[in-house]
């Protein structure tokens, strides 16, 4: 069974930085897509950034120029570098991966989330 574990969240002042990490473990043949979503209280879960094996990463307009997503396939890890953080970035951040188990069997997985709070 696959498990995704996020880390790196916390409390930071406006203008500060955080780096989130998400490590996948379990029976994994390969990972097609790695992404980050976030959900603020009372709001839907929205895509923050996604990165595939081929092509450039995609970002939500609200984080372009401030956040950077990257992946390390050998470590089965996705990162989210967050700079110039704003109070509106406050949310629970969730890792998501589309994992290949062999053949045509693909499945999406979610981490449990890590809290990011931006406040003075």
Asked whether the predicted pLDDT for residue 86 surpasses 90, the reply is yes
What b-and-e string marks burial along 86-118, b requiring 16 or more CB atoms within 10 Å of the CB?
eeebbbbbbbbbbbeeeeeeeeebebebbebeb
Contact (Cβ atoms closer than 8 angstroms) between residue 96 and residue 106: no
Whether 9 shows a pLDDT value over 90: the answer reads yes
Mean pLDDT for 42-49 is 96
Q: Cα–Cα distance between 101 and 58 in angstroms, integer?
A: 24
**Which pLDDT value is given to residue 44?**
96
Q: Average of pLDDT values for 103-108?
A: 93
Percentage of the chain surpassing pLDDT 70? 100
Please state, as a whole number, how many other Cβ atoms lie within 10 Å of the Cβ of residue 64. Answer: 10
pLDDT at 93: 98
Distance CA 103, CA 105 (A): 6
Q: What is the pLDDT of residues 47-82, one digit of tens each?
A: 999 999 887 899 999 999 999 999 999 999 999 999
> pLDDT band at 108, cuts 50/70/90?
very high
């Amino acid at each position: 069974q696959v498990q995704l574990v996020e880390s790196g969240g916390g409390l930071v002042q406006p203008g500060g930085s955080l780096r989130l990490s998400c490590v996948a473990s379990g029976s994994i043949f390969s990972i097609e897509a790695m992404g980050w979503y976030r959900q603020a209280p009372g709001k839907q879960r929205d895509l923050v950034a996604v990165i595939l094996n081929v092509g450039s990463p995609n970002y939500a307009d609200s984080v372009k120029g401030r956040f950077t997503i990257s992946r390390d396939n050998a470590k089965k890890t996705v990162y989210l570098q967050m700079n110039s953080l704003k109070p509106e970035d406050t949310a629970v951040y969730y890792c998501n991966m589309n994992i290949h188990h062999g053949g045509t069997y693909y499945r999406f997985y979610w981490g449990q989330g890590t809290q990011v709070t931006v406040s003075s």
